[in-house]
A and B are shown apart, each in its own frame.
Chain A
Amino acid sequence: DAGVIQSPRHEVTEMGQEVTLRCKPISGHNSLFWYRQTMMRGLELLIYFNNNVPIDDSGMPEDRFSAKMPNASFSTLKIQPSEPRDSAVYFCASRTGQLTTGELFFGEGSRLTVL
């Protein structure tokens, strides 16, 4: 069975440009998470969805960041306009709806570099 699929794996862009990261969760998983990883701050939760509905976006750095989940098999994280400090690895993760486990299934990440 395919795992969580993220695209692109690498993105290099210039400051001010729009960036869109994509995620396909594991089929049957109804919770989806977006994390950001940097050397300085480690893994930070940006936003998560349950049954396609955003539940908590308190980790989204600012209004330049937005995330959508139009259906159970697709989510996007958009940064507009991008800034150099947004450079990081962005991970998408999914999980079943069971409340008793912290087992998240992570994708391989999208490495973003903003010049």
Chain B
Amino acid sequence: EDQVTQSPEALRLQEGESSSLNCSYTVSGLRGLFWYRQDPGKGPEFLFTLYSAGEEKEKERLKATLTKKESFLHITAPKPEDSATYLCAVGGAQKLVFGQGTRLTINP
């Protein structure tokens, strides 16, 4: 059974303070690693898909990387509007298994 563990559960940073979120996974065969962002009271919003170890994707202040066992979401010089819960998921064509998420707060 596919499993996803995210750490830390919550992270509080000052504006401009860079950091990384971790997503560890156990799958029978990785068919994709996905990052989503979820704002309070909203549904998750897709950010990135990674398929193979060594792959990287970037979007504004976010960069996602993938190894054989884990993925990192690096946030560089974050702004308060980056505050959200970041969810990691693994899966294939049909089913995504989500982690519990990391709740990120950026203080001005």
Contacts and interface: CB of A to CB of B under 8 A. Distances in A.
B41 A108 contact: yes
Contacts of A104: 44, 46, 96
A101 interface: yes
B96 A108 contact: no
A25 interface: no
B87 A102 contact: no
A106 B100 CA distance: 17
Interface string B93-104: 111111111000
> What is the size category of the interface that chain B forms with chain A?
20 to 34
B32 interface: yes
Interface stretch (A11-19, A41-49, A69-77): A41-49
A45 B43 contact: no
B59 interface: no
Contact of B46 (A4, A91, A105): A105
Contacts of A115: none
A50 B100 CA distance: 26
A103 interface: yes
Interface string A26-67: 000001000000000011010010100001100000000000
Q: Is the interface of A mostly helix, strand, loop or mixed?
A: strand
B34 interface: yes
A107 B43 contact: yes
Contacts of B93: 99-100
Contacts of B95: 45, 48, 56
B78 to A, nearest CB: 23
Interface of A: 4, 31, 42-43, 45, 48, 50, 55-56, 91, 93, 99-109
Interface of B: 32, 34, 41-46, 49, 87, 89, 91-101
22 contacts: A4-B43, A43-B98, A45-B95, A45-B96, A55-B94, A56-B95, A91-B44, A101-B32, A102-B34, A102-B49, A102-B89, A102-B91, A102-B96, A103-B34, A104-B44, A105-B46, A106-B43, A106-B44, A106-B45, A108-B41, A108-B42, A109-B41
